[in-house]
Chains A and B, each alone.
Chain A
């Protein structure tokens, strides 16, 4: 399989959460993933993009960049925003921790990203934005 890359920029609007899931599913298709792998990646991407919209931009306008790399049956996905950033990444990673109880957020976003992908890396700078890098080996 040849190495393959993609990069998409879209507005931080909630309707683009399903667009991002469809985009990553389409990108993965060439590696013939199992249904479970597909669902795992779609869920992780949905969590990261939702975080960018709700927390990164706090519902205000902004751009989200979704990039993908497929190499030797390993998928790497990067979700980047240029929003407010995360003050305490370790705290944000904890299950059930949320800053948006008013929106009934469960605080399970990072837990799901960690559970459904093999690796999760969070890089965040206050007032500059957050970059989530996740990878998963596809057995498909």
Chain B
């Protein structure tokens, strides 16, 4: 997992698996950056991710709530078919913009 900042965009490259055990550092890392820098958009990059359970929903909804306070937005990119299904089931796709990539 790593964090990359491009101007006012925070890109979070998510780990291979997102579960309750490893979601703590994602939340803390993102929230620290949000507090210290002027971020307008968080992009969750799922290119390395092949597993996510409902713990991941908590991570995304939590960051959405935090950045919404500052008027920012959350988006997601490189979703597998599986992760896309989890987005649809949980309603995440109503609050998070999904970038389509060919």
Q: Report B19-42 CB contacts with A as 1/0, cut-off 8 Å.
A: 111000001000000000000000
Q: How many A-B residue pairs have CB under 8 A?
A: 55
Which residues does chain A contribute within 8 Å of B54, judged by CB atoms? 47, 105-109, 111-112
Instruction: Count residues on chain B whose CB falls below 8 Å from chain A CBs.
Output: 17
Q: Given A39-B82, A47-B53, answer yes or no on A105-B58 (Cβ-Cβ < 8 Å).
A: yes
**Would B89 and A104 count as touching, CB distance under 8 A?**
no
Indicate whether A50 sits within 8 Å of B17 (C-beta atoms), given known contacts A39-B82, A104-B61, A106-B90: no
Interfacial residues, chain A to chain B (CB-CB below 8 A):
14-15, 17-18, 21, 36, 39, 42-43, 46-47, 50, 53-54, 103-109, 111-112, 115
Pick the 10 closest A-B CB pairs, nearest first. Answer: A14-B21, A104-B58, A106-B57, A108-B54, A104-B62, A46-B53, A50-B20, A106-B58, A106-B54, A17-B19
Residues of B whose CB lies within 8 Å of any CB of A are 17, 19-21, 27, 51, 53-55, 57-59, 61-62, 82, 89-90
